[in-house]
Each structure stands twice: as structure tokens, then as C-alpha cells.
Amino acid sequence: MLTHKLTSCAEATARACSVPSEMLAKSVLVRRKEGFLLAIVPASADVRLNALGRVIGEPVGLATEDEVAAIFSDCEPGAVPPLAEAYGLSAVVDKEFDGISDVYFEGGDHRTLIHLSGPDFESVTSGFAHAHISERRG
């Protein structure tokens, strides 16, 4: 676990902790026909909602801030950890994380970063689909 200065977004967290943004997992709550799921993508990328919808076989959209706050009431806004099962959610993990050596993610606040080895992260997310669901910014 790493502590860092208060940051406002995942990429700022990566910079503050000297972690490559490709190794920082960003969790995005997505609305589907029946409930929600987490899209887990690198901090350096955006979720491709059309690609995610194709993976799960239905259209999806971003959850509202109120919906995120209701599900992740124990987390600060914007600091959603990629621990879908702990919140009764399913997830789709971007393939960019497959085979990666290390993964970092916000621990529910904007001051704590959790570190897992790549194999440990793969173990934690092994029950979820892994697919190309992100697009790098820039």
C-alpha cells in the first residue's frame, strides 16, 4: 500500500506515486439493462462503451454520480476500487492488464494506492471477462 498526496483523478495519482498510468486500474461503473457492472481499464485510457456492450451482449451507459455514490458509499467520489465482487457486481477487465507485472488501484480514497502483483490481480479478476474495452487517450 502506498500513501500519496490528495489527487483529483487517476492519472494525477499515477504521477504522484511515480506509477506508469498503464499499471493503474481505473474502475468505471456502467449501467446495463438489469443493474450495473464495473469496467476496469488503465488510467491512461477511456472505456469504449460500444466495445463493452458487444462483450456483454447489451447496450451500456455510464452510471450517474448519484448511482456511483449509492453503490460505493464507503468510498470517496472517483476512488472506486476494482473489487467488483465486494460490491455484488460483475466486471469486465481490459485485456491491457493481462500478463502485466504489477497493478495499482485506488483504495477507496484519494490518498491510498493498493499494489498487487500482476498474477495476484489476475487471480482476483479471474472470474470476470477480459476483453479489449479501452482506448488510450492522446
- Tally the residues of the chain: 138
3-state secondary structure 121-137: HHHHCCCCEEECCEEEC
Per-residue pLDDT band at 2 (split at 50, 70, 90): low
Reduced to 3 states, what is the DSSP secondary structure of residue 38?
strand
pLDDT in tens, 75-112: 988 889 999 999 999 999 999 999 999 999 988 888 88
At 102, phi and psi to the nearest 5?
Answer: -145, 150
Whether the model clears a pTM of 0.85, i.e. scores above it, the answer is yes
Structural domains of the chain in order of their starting residue, each with its CATH number: 2-133 (3.90.960.10)
Q: What is the pLDDT of residue 72?
A: 96
At 130, phi and psi to the nearest 5?
Answer: -120, 125
Which residues, 6 or more positions from 77, have their beta carbon under 8 angstroms from its beta carbon? 65, 68, 69
